[in-house]
Amino acid sequence: MTVVYIDLLFLLNLIANYLLLLAAGRMAGAVLIRWRIGLGAAAGALYAALIFLPGLDWLAAWPCKLAAGVLLALVAYGGERNFLRITVLFFGASAALAGAVLGFELLGSASLTLEYGVLYTPVDIRLLLLSFTVCYFVLSLFFRRVGQHGGKLTSLKITLGEQTVDVTALRDTGHTVTDPADNRPVVVAYCRSLAGALPEWADPTDPIRSVERCHAAGSRQARLIPYRAVGVECGMLLALRSRQVTVDGKEMGRLLVALSPTPLDDGRGYQALIGGV
């Protein structure tokens, strides 16, 4: 008879769900809101624990498992334009993790799962955590390789004020928007991906008015950036001076971040553009 410690079961599934949701979001190029991902992971861990309570074994039925998976994705990424894609990737990542766990079980001497396929081990916790980490990095590596077609997808950390936001960007050598003051590259980001970090006066649909409101508030953070695009001979974007932009772990300093009022991606799941820095 196996003794199940609910707290350990909850913790292991919390970590696994968090990494799976994070991997799915990164692969889909979604906006990563960490607290929502954590909340979704906690909901999944609670579901795994409830299965083993008396009278609740019916929760292990496939329709319930399917509904629980969709709920996790909804909590973490509800409202995203590519929510369906994220959900499919989440189920795919879960299947990949299940395969990896089975492989570790066949290679090792201890079981890493309980009945119904719920992750749990009272002995080889390090082995289970290793399987989580390996799966996450394999999926991330695969995504990076795929994303190199027609421009490399890269990870950006943008700090505006006290808030830091993670976004996926297309690093494109054809992207030539620069800061007129110092000729440094300008990050162009979809405004919705930075919504939680934008000041109240920032309205990307009315850049001139936003700059006026910024100056009226005693700040010089905002400015206008001219740009050209298909169908736009000479337009203006609202740009904010960041506190820090980090590209794949490399600090690039206080770059300007221009806010696009419309999505930038071509179906490949990025929220920003940056030149070949």
**How far, in Å, are 89, 107, 144, 195, 218 from residue 198 at the CA level?**
29, 50, 29, 5, 16
> Which helix (H) or strand (E) element contains residue 94?
helix 83-107
Give the pLDDT of residue 146: 45
Q: What's the chain's length in residues? A: 277
pLDDT band at 145 (very low <50, low <70, confident <90, very high): very low
Give the pLDDT of residue 17: 87
Give the pLDDT of residue 148: 43
Q: Which two tokens stand for residue 242?
A: 């960041």
Q: For the residues 193-212, what does the mean pLDDT come to?
A: 90
Give the pLDDT of residue 164: 92
C-alpha radius of gyration, the chain, whole number: 22
> In angstroms, rounded to a whole number, what is the distance separating the alpha carbons of residues 212 and 217?
9
Average pLDDT value for the chain: 78
On the question of pLDDT at 3 being above 70, the answer is: no
pLDDT band at 1 (very low <50, low <70, confident <90, very high): very low
Residue % of the chain over a pLDDT of 90? 23
Give the pLDDT of residue 71: 93
pLDDT band at 149 (very low <50, low <70, confident <90, very high): very low
Higher pLDDT, 98 or 167: 167
Interhelix angle 83-107/62-77, nearest 10 degrees = 120
Residues 36-56 as b or e (16 or more Cβ within 10 Å = b): bbbebbbbbbebbbebbeeee
pTM over 0.75: no
Structure confidence by residue, pLDDT tens digits, 177-186 = 777 766 678 8
pLDDT band at 216 (very low <50, low <70, confident <90, very high): very high
Q: For the residues 151-162, what does the mean pLDDT come to?
A: 85
> In angstroms, rounded to a whole number, what is the distance separating the alpha carbons of residues 21 and 16?
9
Interhelix angle 62-77/34-50, nearest 10 degrees = 160
On the question of pLDDT at 2 being above 60, the answer is: no
Structure confidence by residue, pLDDT tens digits, 217-244 = 888 889 998 876 544 456 789 999 999 9
pLDDT band at 52 (very low <50, low <70, confident <90, very high): confident
Contact 141, 153 (CB under 8 A): no
Higher pLDDT, 97 or 42: 42
**Helix (H/G/I), strand (E/B), else coil: 21:** helix
Q: Which two tokens stand for residue 268?
A: 């490949």
Give the pLDDT of residue 73: 92
Q: How far is CA 236 from the centre of its chain?
A: 29
**How far, in Å, are 58, 114, 158 from residue 189 at the CA level?**
46, 45, 10
Contact 179, 232 (CB under 8 A): no
Structure confidence by residue, pLDDT tens digits, 89-116 = 888 888 877 766 666 556 655 555 545 5
Give the pLDDT of residue 268: 60
Give the pLDDT of residue 162: 87
DSSP string, 142-169: HHHHHTTTTSEEEEEEEEETTEEEEEEE
Q: For the residues 72-84, what does the mean pLDDT come to?
A: 87
Give the pLDDT of residue 59: 80
